[in-house]
Amino acid sequence: MATRLKPVDVVIVGMGWTGGILAKELSDAGLTVLGLERGVNRTTEPDFSVPMIRDELRYAVRHELYMDVSRDTLTFRNAARETALPMRRLGSFLPGEGVGGAGLHWNGQTYRFSPSDHSLRTRVKERYGAAFAPEGMQLADWPMTYDELEPYYDKFEYMAGISGQAGNIRGETIEGGNPFEGPRSRGYPNPPLKASLSGVMYEAAARELGYHPFPRPAANMSRAYVNPDGMSLGECQYCGHCENFGCEANAKASPHITVIPAAQKNANFSLRTQAWVTRVDLHPDGKRAKGVTYTDVRTGEEFEQPADIVALCAYGLGNVHLMLLSGIGAPYDPDTETGVVGKGYCYQLTSTVQTFFEDRNFNPFMGAGSLGVVVDDVNGDNFDHGPHGFIGGASIINATTHGRPIAYRPLPPGTPKWGSEWKAASRHWYGRSTSIGTQGSNMASRGNYLSLDPTYRNAFGQPLLRLTYDFTENDFKQSAFTTKIAHDIGRAMGPTHISPLAPKSSSYSIVPYQSTHNTGGAITGHDPKTSAVNRYLQSWDVSNLFVVGASAFPQNAGYNPTGAVGALAYWTADAIRTRYLSAPGPLVPA
Amino acid sequence: MTDEGLDRRRFLGGLGAGAAALGADVAEAAEPAPGVTAASPAGGPPALAGYQFLNPDEAAFMEAFVDHLIPADALSPSGTELGVAVYVDRQLAGAWGKGARMYLQGPWRRGTPNQGWQSPMTPADLVRTGIAALDAHCRRVAKLPFERLGPDAREDAVAALAQGKIELEGVASKLLFDTLYALATEGLFADPIYGGNRDKAGWRLVGFPGVIATHAQDIETYRGRRYDAEPMSIADMS
């Protein structure tokens, strides 16, 4: 029998970036806000102290800061004809767990999606004609434009102290920035990080080939910074331990040192950790949420937390899982293409070109999570797709993130994997290699979706989320096209050896790490028949439920998602404050 | 004294003559001119002795296996001398070996390669089963256990295992190899606190400086130039 708790105005499920932002914004507005987090609380001191935090095995290999799949995981199959089986250990992607969520252990690569990404369906139709999109592709516009989201991108970037070089301020092109980016109202709050040798070489080679390289925008602080909420961040030390780790110097913007402590200044915000939400409880008519039910994972006790507003701010996959478990919205059916919850799951296609230089020394261990140089010429709709026959693109990046030796020991093709020759080659090439990566978009496709698994259950006795997913021909064409350009730039850098062209060309595997950029499943749209949430990320079906995060993306772009996720969180918080509170109910007529 | 010299001195300061001498060797090692050799066994604290999980037969296999992957040569002592077999033993004995942070509920199906690990065994059980099956295979084919095979025969066995070409009872040979290979490389390159990488020999091998990493100035000072420092481990800083 669950214990019923005192009602609050707002209950937030998940305390990562989106939950932290809503907590800050809605508690500032005077609402009583409760944040529920399934994992533990961690603080920079003592949890991320040197030397303990510099433990590659514990954090990067054994996944200390990530979700524990012994308790909850998902099942996976490439296609509906297969039987989905559990992801028994982490691999392809690494969702976070605990206060700060993935915002603790991210690299800090912080982009805005381009204007065409936000209006992709319209853009493709106008530029290439309606017949250009292949059969089965579920191309969609975001129901809000880039221009509408711009102030919220800006707000996220200033809160997180992003280091970067603007390329377009109010329509004026700025030398050294990304000339393809949407107009921004002002420059980045901090200058770019210091360049590495490989970045300098990559930039020169890309420019020579006619591309437009720019420094990768970084949530790693290029200098000490105090954000508009009064939160202090330190200067990045290029320690090469960003992704997988917490930052001991508070030099990587993370929720636990920005929005969450800012919210905690408000007495009307409280945080409850190790509180695992198992469902959203609905009123009998199914149109309003009563609150949520959670289990205290320390004791196993169950609680009902009533709330006027429920915000799902878990990892995107978790948001979709909770909607399906709670019976909110019609589950998507790929056979009929009806239903909405679970629809539009997307991922990314990545590829790598490894270059080796006999006469160079890159000191790979001097790096930062987002240190790098990017070429955006073939991303989004920055180029004419007509001759190429696909939709989408990729950012092409030379990154200097780390040289941690369990994971990082690049070797030229054909090198033995063990023995004295392997040891000598590992020694020789460790400092003499750098890579170029593509981060490619992924379009929504009829057969790719999320649902509940019929067989496997989590530690709470609930069905696991089931992922049915594979790459599509459109996306293979994208990877082939953009990987060739990455390879061209790599060759122009003049390496002694270069890895062979290896675009993504085979079906999706959940085993090797690729990207923690899982999107969709509760997509935003204009129409309740084809989307799960409206333009304010409000459920079409349950009007006091907001579903915030990358789960709202109708398709995925060739960028890291956190900038867009942060913008959506501020956008939603603003809609709740300025629109919903005065007239609780659907903000968009269905 | 060059800037580089000053910087090295800053890092070597207070470490004692032995460590400084090792650092000097590493600094000159543009090409293999090793800091640690088989002829001069690893410095630093003695390797841990004794096994928690592996029985004597399994330990004999593991030592031979990690020594085949990581042979003693001019660049480093052998895997066993570096504590790699002990590292593997401790991992198998501990939470990871027992399947911590894995979803271990049935039902069990073989699955497709894209679906990943679907073995009902924990990693420790898988390694134990795999070693026994590989031992049986070697005795059947060569009349000798793996650890008594000659170098060429060992190489053939490891290569066949890596390619998944050996039929083993109860476990896929590729999965066994991938598991053992990952463990061995972790044992060479993980922080010495876990029992391997004795005297940071794995880090010295590639030139990884360890846990001290304040490079806000170095990234410009050493742009294009080799940066050498005595590697520092968690224990060194504790």
CA proximity to A467, closest of A518, A531, A525, A529: A518
Nearest CA in chain B to A468: B115
CA-CA distances (angstroms) from residue A459 to A276, A342, A454, A555, B3? 11, 22, 15, 31, 58
| More confident position, A152 or B7 | A152
State the average pLDDT over residues A109-113. Answer: 98
pLDDT over threshold 80, residue A52: yes
Residues in A closer than 8 angstroms to B160, CB to CB, are: none
Task: Decide if A55 and B193 are in contact by the 8 Å CB cutoff.
Answer: yes
Q: Write out the DSSP string of A37-103.
A: -SS----HHHHT-TTTT--HIIIIIS-TTB--TTTS-EEEESSTTSPPEE--S--S---B-STTTHH
Task: Decide if A235 and B216 are in contact by the 8 Å CB cutoff.
Answer: yes
B118: nearest CB among A55, A85, A424: A85
Chain A, chain B: beta-carbon pairs less than 8 Å apart: 180
Domain that holds residue A301: 10-79+86-168+192-580
Question: Taking a contact as any Cβ pair under 8 Å apart, which residues of chain A between 437 and 496 contact chain B?
Answer: 455-457
Distance CA A550, CA B115 (A): 24
B214: nearest CB among A78, A237, A431: A237
Task: Decide if A363 and B226 are in contact by the 8 Å CB cutoff.
Answer: yes
On whether the CB atoms of residues A446 and A334 are closer than 8 A, the answer is: yes
For A528-541, b/e burial (b = at least 16 CB within 10 A) is bebbbbbbbbbbbb
Question: Taking a contact as any Cβ pair under 8 Å apart, which residues of chain B between 198 and 217 contact chain A?
Answer: 202-203, 205-211, 213-216
Pairing relation of β-strands A463-468 and A349-356?
A: unpaired
A405: nearest CB among B111, B114, B189: B189
ipTM of the complex: 0.96
Q: How do residues B193-203 score in pLDDT, each as one tens digit?
A: 999 999 999 99
Residues in B closer than 8 angstroms to A198, CB to CB, are: none
The predicted structure's pLDDT at residue B10: 33
The predicted structure's pLDDT at residue A276: 98
For A282-306, b/e burial (b = at least 16 CB within 10 A) is beeeeebbbbbbbbebeeeeebbbb
Q: Can you state the angle between helices B173-189 and B56-69, rounded to 10 degrees?
A: 70
SS (H, E, C) A508-525: CCCCCCCCCCCEEECCEC
Tell whether A77 lies on the interface with B, counting CB pairs under 8 A. Answer: yes
Q: How do residues A463-506 score in pLDDT, each as one tens digit?
A: 999 999 999 999 999 999 999 999 999 999 999 999 999 999 99
CA dihedral A62, A63, A64, A69 (to 10 degrees): -100
With respect to residue A219, please indicate whether it lies within any of the assigned structural domains. yes
B102: nearest CB among A69, A195, A418: A69
State the average pLDDT over residues A242-261. Answer: 97
With respect to residue A542, please indicate whether it lies within any of the assigned structural domains. yes
On whether the CB atoms of residues B192 and B199 are closer than 8 A, the answer is: yes
With respect to residue A201, please indicate whether it lies within any of the assigned structural domains. yes
Task: Decide if B219 and A404 are in contact by the 8 Å CB cutoff.
Answer: no
Q: How do residues A334-382 score in pLDDT, each as one tens digit?
A: 999 999 999 999 999 999 999 999 999 999 999 999 999 999 999 999 9
Tell whether A426 lies on the interface with B, counting CB pairs under 8 A. Answer: yes
Q: Which single residue is written with the structure tokens 């609050």?
A: A8
Query: pLDDT tens, position by position, for chain B (238 residues)?
Result: 333 333 333 323 333 333 333 333 333 333 433 343 433 445 666 667 899 999 999 999 999 999 999 999 999 999 999 999 999 999 999 999 999 999 999 999 999 999 999 999 999 999 999 999 999 999 999 999 999 999 999 999 999 999 999 999 999 999 999 999 999 999 999 999 999 999 999 999 999 999 987 999 999 999 999 999 999 999 999 9
Distance (Å) from the alpha carbon of A52 to chain B's nearest alpha carbon: 6
Q: How confident is the model at residue A1 (pLDDT cuts 50, 70, 90)?
A: confident
Domain ranges across chain B: 3-33+207-237, 56-103+115-202
On whether the CB atoms of residues B116 and A69 are closer than 8 A, the answer is: no
Q: Can you state the angle between helices B173-189 and B84-93, rounded to 10 degrees?
A: 110
Nearest CA in chain B to A62: B96
For A158-176, b/e burial (b = at least 16 CB within 10 A) is bbbbbbbbbbbeeeeebee
Distance CA A55, CA A78 (A): 34
Q: How do residues A76-107 score in pLDDT, each as one tens digit?
A: 999 999 999 999 999 999 999 999 999 999 99
Residues in A closer than 8 angstroms to B118, CB to CB, are: 85, 88
Distance CA A523, CA A554 (A): 5
What's the mean pLDDT when you consider all of chain A? 98
Q: Is B11 helix (H, G, I), strand (E, B) or coil?
A: helix
Distance CA A67, CA A95 (A): 6
On whether the CB atoms of residues A586 and A138 are closer than 8 A, the answer is: no
Question: Taking a contact as any Cβ pair under 8 Å apart, which residues of chain B between 141 and 180 contact chain A?
Answer: 155, 158, 162
Element (H, E) at A555: none
Q: Active site residue: A63, A256, A321, A517, which one?
A: A517
For residue B32, count CB atoms less than 10 angstroms from its CB and return exposed for 0-12, middle for 13-18, buried for 19 or more. Answer: middle
CA-CA distances (angstroms) from residue A122 to A127, A139, A441, A478, A533? 8, 9, 17, 20, 20
With respect to residue A183, please indicate whether it lies within any of the assigned structural domains. no
With respect to residue A179, please indicate whether it lies within any of the assigned structural domains. no
User: What are the phi and psi torsion angles at B237 (to 5°)?
Assistant: -100, 0
Distance CA A44, CA A62 (A): 20
CA dihedral A445, A446, A449, A455 (to 10 degrees): -140
Task: Decide if B206 and A427 are in contact by the 8 Å CB cutoff.
Answer: yes
Q: How do residues A4-25 score in pLDDT, each as one tens digit?
A: 999 999 999 999 999 999 999 9
The predicted structure's pLDDT at residue B43: 60
Distance CA A559, CA A543 (A): 31
Distance CA B205, CA B79 (A): 13
State the average pLDDT over residues A130-156. Answer: 97
The predicted structure's pLDDT at residue A388: 97
Task: Decide if A51 and B69 are in contact by the 8 Å CB cutoff.
Answer: no
With respect to residue A303, please indicate whether it lies within any of the assigned structural domains. yes
Distance CA A533, CA A140 (A): 13
Distance CA A187, CA A189 (A): 6
Tell whether B91 lies on the interface with A, counting CB pairs under 8 A. Answer: no
Q: How do residues A508-538 score in pLDDT, each as one tens digit?
A: 999 999 999 999 999 999 999 999 999 999 9
Task: Decide if A54 and B220 are in contact by the 8 Å CB cutoff.
Answer: no
State the average pLDDT over residues A133-158. Answer: 98
B213: nearest CB among A69, A194, A240: A240
Greatest Cα pair distance in chain A: 72
Spell out the alpha helix ranges (H) of A196-269: 197-208, 259-264
What lies within 8 Å, CB to CB, of B163 at 6+ separation is B174
Task: Decide if B190 and A406 are in contact by the 8 Å CB cutoff.
Answer: yes
- Indicate if A402 belongs to the active site: no
Q: Which single residue is written with the structure tokens 């599509």?
A: A472
Nearest CA in chain A to B99: A70
CA dihedral A372, A373, A374, A375 (to 10 degrees): -160
Pairing relation of β-strands A302-312 and A545-547?
A: parallel
CATH at A51: 3.50.50.60
State the average pLDDT over residues A324-332. Answer: 98
Distance CA A329, CA A578 (A): 25
On whether the CB atoms of residues A340 and A574 are closer than 8 A, the answer is: no
Residues in A closer than 8 angstroms to B69, CB to CB, are: 418-419
The predicted structure's pLDDT at residue B44: 63
For A461-485, b/e burial (b = at least 16 CB within 10 A) is ebbbbbbbbbbbebbbbbbbbbbeb
Distance (Å) from the alpha carbon of B213 to chain A's nearest alpha carbon: 5
* Tally of structural domains, chain A: 1
Distance (Å) from the alpha carbon of B176 to chain A's nearest alpha carbon: 16
Element (H, E) at A309: strand A302-312
Distance (Å) from the alpha carbon of B91 to chain A's nearest alpha carbon: 11
Q: How do residues A535-551 score in pLDDT, each as one tens digit?
A: 999 999 999 999 999 99
